[in-house]
Amino acid sequence: MSDSSTPTPPPGFVEAEIRSPFFRVMGPLFMRQTEDSFEMAMVIEERHLNRRGQAHGGLLAAFADIALVRSVSMSQDPPLNIATASLKVDYSGAVDEGETVIATTDVQRIGRRVSFANCYLHVGDRRVVHASAVLASVDRRADSDAD
């Protein structure tokens, strides 16, 4: 995807509203929320690659972090204002240019001060990253977006 075309979202996903300058650098990012799950997706472009021609590990870690924060934040009404206190990332595969990475999250527990969640990044049936996070509540509530 070396040209300047905008990636097409996977079926059922819509482009995530982005307020953070960092999201704009990474994006576009896509999301899909149902009653049972929250997922995010991104298409790997040339600008996301490391020198070996695969998605940079730092990009995948940042994407997992964004999905974790958003899933916990958006699980409450009004959305929680949270920040990542700890992020653990394990890589189990590589992602090539043009592939769509989907982040599936699992919120373990939401407490008054800290929350816990897991995330898997996968390309099709292939899991490429597992991440887990401890997320700290911040004093104020998010107005409409968490990042």
- Structure confidence at residue 4 (pLDDT): 53
pLDDT in tens, 81-123: 999 999 999 999 999 999 999 999 999 999 989 999 999 999 9
- Structure confidence at residue 42 (pLDDT): 95
Q: Hey, which residues does 115 pair with through a beta bridge?
A: 110, 135
- Structure confidence at residue 38 (pLDDT): 86
Contact 74, 117 (CB under 8 A): no
What residue ranges define each of the domains in the chain, with the CATH number in brackets? 14-137 (3.10.129.10)
- Structure confidence at residue 140 (pLDDT): 58
- Structure confidence at residue 141 (pLDDT): 47
Contact 110, 72 (CB under 8 A): yes
C-alpha to C-alpha distance for 118 and 88, rounded to whole angstroms: 9
Asked, as a colleague might, if the bond just before 7 is cis with ω within 30 of 0, I would say: no
Confidence of residue 65 (pLDDT cuts 50, 70, 90): very high
pLDDT in tens, 14-46: 898 877 888 878 889 999 987 777 899 999 999
